[in-house]
Amino acid sequence: MTNEFIHYEKISRGTWQSLHRKTTPPLTEEELDSIKSFNDQISLQDVTDIYLPLAHLIQIYKRSKEDLAFSKGIFLQRESKNQPFIIGISGSVAVGKSTTSRLLQILLSRIFPEASVELVTTDGFLYPNSILNERNILNRKGFPESYDMESLLDFLDQLKNGQDVDIPVYSHEIYDIVPDKTQRVQAADFVIVEGINVFQTPHNSRLYITDFFDFSIYVDAAVEDIESWYLDRFLKLLSFAQDDPNNYYYRFTQQPISEVKDFAHQVWTSINLTNLQNYIEPTRNRAEVILHKSKNHEIDEIYLKK
């Protein structure tokens, strides 16, 4: 075990699945298919073995957070006000963060029927292409400097204070922030915040985004597996774009497939891999739980912070 994981307990899938009494997954095969990213693979068995114990662990953290808030309230002689329980989910591009996030959203809303569960991706905090162009960093979209991290911090701060917030919306179809469109995020009982940058420190800031999280998850896998999932996803996106000239990926449908594959590989190497190695993976040990995926997308190991 490398030093990096010295403060984690490594748990095999077999051990992990036995930590939670067996229950029927609170969702159907159809629902699972509707939430998973189109190139991701996940089964109801994964829900039972991995995600139900994880949701149970989140329940434990939520309870202890409420107990602490209550005790602090007594100490400070004032009533503690309810705050959203914020869960951060990070990992590489194409590793399956979105599927994990959507699945947790459904599970938490089924396990806590009275609770409201919001899901936010940090894509909305990317600067619009016009600003990235102006700063000459369009080719560094996804790197730390391409995000409006101060706005992201403000958003989390307002949520923690129980305020509902309107945030920008990003579209992968147009590859840009959608003009004049916002998403209203409520200070719900649970708020899941998903993105490659959610464990990073804003430039020149003394605050960590992780300071706002009550629980955090990093989705991990071997680099060569993530690369093959990324290339697979890139080619699948073309099939959705072939009849839509407004789609960012449409241009690639007009090119020979060998050229497209070369381009996707170059994007992976020069942008996504560089970003992963320099900025995303170094934040991995800020997570409470690391979910490690094997080649077939199955979670084979879980690391839990001691």
Only one residue has tokens 């080619």, namely 235
- Cβ neighbours around 166 below 10 Å, total: 11
CB 104 within 8 A of CB 111: no
The structure tokens listed for 245 are: 């000239």
Please indicate if the annotation marks 236 as binding a ligand.
no
Q: What is the dihedral of CA 84, 13, 300, 117, to 10 degrees?
A: -20
Any bridge partners for residue 120, and if so which?
193
Does 116 show up as a binding residue in the annotation? no
Q: Is 92 annotated as a binding residue?
A: yes
DSSP bridge partners of 292: 220, 301
Annotated ligand binding at 305? The verdict is no
Does 96 belong to an annotated binding site? yes
Taking alpha carbons only, the member of 137, 40, 22, 139 closest to residue 97 is 40
CA-closest candidate to residue 226, choices 122, 78, 97, 117: 97
Question: Residue 34: is it exposed, middle or buried by C-beta count within 10 angstroms (0-12/13-18/19+)?
Answer: exposed
Segments of the chain assigned E as strands: 8-12, 85-91, 117-121, 165-171, 176-185, 190-194, 215-221, 289-293, 299-305
The answer on whether 219 is annotated among ligand-binding residues is: no
| Known binding residues for ATP | 91-98
| Known binding residues | 91-98
